[in-house]
Amino acid sequence: MTGNNCIEAAADHRGIAIRESSDPHAVLTTNPTALRAFLRGVKEGRFHLSAG
């Protein structure tokens, strides 16, 4: 991979905020349970990006 492929995450009383470091104005907010399920799915290969 090339470029700046980073995300930033922070937790506060509202939940977990995640943003792309190159686009800090777009913020996704989630909760620990949903984030845990998503990360489990990624590790298990449930999500595939199709090229083009």
Residue 19 or 50, more confident: 19
- Phi, psi torsion values for 28, nearest 5 degrees: -105, 130
Residues 10, 17: Cα–Cα separation, whole Å: 5
Ranking 3-7, 8-12, 19-23, 46-50 by mean pLDDT, the lowest is 3-7
29-49 confidence digits (pLDDT tens) = 999 999 999 999 989 999 887
In the predicted model, is pLDDT for residue 28 greater than 50? Answer: yes
Q: What is the pTM of this model?
A: 0.67
